[in-house]
Amino acid sequence: MSDDYTYPPEFIKKVEQRIQKQVEGNGVDPADIKLTIVKQGLDVMTGKTYFELDCDVQTISEKGDKTKGRVIKQGELQKEIDTYLNSFAAKETLDSKAKDIIESLPHKGFATDKQNIPLPQDKLTLTEHVVCQKCQGQKMTACSPCQGRGLIQCQLCYSTGMMRCLQCNGARQVQAGGEMQPCQACQGRGEIMCTQCRGQKMSPCPHCQSKGTLSCDNCAGQGKNSNHATITPQLNVHGDVLMDDMDPYPKIMASKIGAVALAEGGHITIKQVNHAVEDKDAPDHNVIEYEAAMPWAVTQFIIGKTPYKIHQAGLKGAVCDSGNFMDDLIQPEMEKITMAAKGNGFVAGLLKEVCNDSRVSRETLGLIAQKGMKRAAIELQKTYNLGLTKKTLQSFVKYAYSAEKRITRRPRYIGLGVGLAVSLLINYLWFMYGIGADMKDNQSQNIQMIMDGIPLILGLFVTLSSIKTVGYFTFQSVMKDIGIPTKKMPPVGKAGLYGLIGNILLWGGFWGFTILL
């Protein structure tokens, strides 16, 4: 660590301005927020990127005597691979090549993930010729159809040596001078000697031309096959980052952000201090060593009598930890909003009070009224990204949402009562006063049953409309008084469910009564 290092003042000033912007309107004078340095330094984390030589072997087989690359003796493929790798690893240029390749990786290979890097320019192709297992190198195999005899059973006479007489068609007689006389061609036997095999019952094999052998199809008649092995050397690379020697403050900061994130974000200065040396802890590996310098600072400001610390790190002044000063600032408002959400006190008065005292409360209620709870939480997280924990923010938004619903709770139930009263009147007029009976005259039974649903639909429409109307105007009035104009329609809540159940019960009671009558 460098003891005389001075953390860039512009980074500290930038965070100071962010905090001032957040506390403005939230019970704290921004001018009172002054960051003072508690501790600062330039710490170094060390890194090691290990690499070892390996290879990828791709093997293909071809029929016949084909050569690609260098020919080797049969059965010596693995020996040749090992010999090649050993000679390749012994090259003086390997370390330099490995260093160049690793330097071309992101962040010069610092904290790199495990990966295999091929070296295609150094690949080697070997060919191994092997004796064909089918013909044993003889290039020819016995013909399967004739089993090597050169002859097959005659297909014309079915190996009988005789065939039906073509003259009498096997009838033994032919018509001559109006009379039937013995066939002269077959001498009255009805069959003659097979014209294809001449009575021998066997005919020449057409597959092997009577030779009894065929060119071996397994090796294309060359007596051997070829195995081609393409050996591509590759570097197996992986990196480790060591933070054990760092000061506790920067060690915690670096651990929170992560070495890879620090490197990707350009927050550290990476320098190679050594390369291509054998690591005693991993004798099968070579290693490239690094030093990554990370500037850091711990600053402090005071609200009231409470000190809060800010941890900053990196070449861009990233904030690793900003404490919980906003949690503490909004705690009084949290208590009042919680009371309002639970209905403990005059809800509108409590919300008006927190909006007058706290900008974050006013912004939260306004965002919920305009965009809903989830969107409000997202936007507030962007605005108050220092000193406000996610848990506190979620609780604050949740209770604020419940408090806004509480504003219209009683008016919604008043609207429910009015709506059910109107629904009762509609059902009475339809079923008991005779309006329904008059409208259903001269209609089929099915149409009459469908028409009996009209009072249910009308009653439900009136009830929900009444709940929404009363809730809407009440919500608009209260929010305007608080100073948060909105045109959003508040949810009907459980009053809507009770309205549905109430209308079904009213309609069902009247309809059932008329059926019994």
Q: How far apart are CA 408 and CA 25, in angstroms?
A: 28
Domain range summary for the chain, segments of one domain joined by +:
9-48+243-321, 325-407, 409-516
Q: How far apart are CA 389 and CA 322, in angstroms?
A: 10
Asked if 285 contacts 50 with a C-beta cutoff of 8 angstroms, the reply is yes
Q: If we measure between CA atoms, which residue out of 310, 356, 312, 317 comes closest to residue 333?
A: 356
Q: Supply φ then ψ for residue 314, to 5 degrees.
A: 95, 165
Report the relative pairing of strands 269-279 and 179-182 from DSSP bridges.
Answer: unpaired
pLDDT attached to residue 199 = 82
Question: Three-state DSSP class for 429?
Answer: helix
pLDDT attached to residue 383 = 94
Tokens 């309006």 correspond to 435
Angstrom distances, CA of residue 213 to CA of 65, 131, 151, 206: 21, 19, 11, 11
Angstrom distances, CA of residue 57 to CA of 74, 89, 103, 117, 237: 17, 17, 26, 14, 18
Angstrom distances, CA of residue 238 to CA of 49, 50, 251: 6, 5, 22
Q: How far apart are CA 165 and CA 171, in angstroms?
A: 8
pLDDT attached to residue 283 = 54
What are the average pLDDT values for consecutive 10-residue runs of the chain, which has 517 residues? Answer: 79 96 94 94 92 87 91 86 80 76 90 91 90 90 87 84 86 82 85 86 86 90 91 91 89 90 92 70 73 95 94 92 94 95 89 92 92 93 94 95 90 93 93 80 78 92 94 87 81 90 93 81
Q: How far apart are CA 240 and CA 235, in angstroms?
A: 16
Tokens 């959003």 correspond to 488
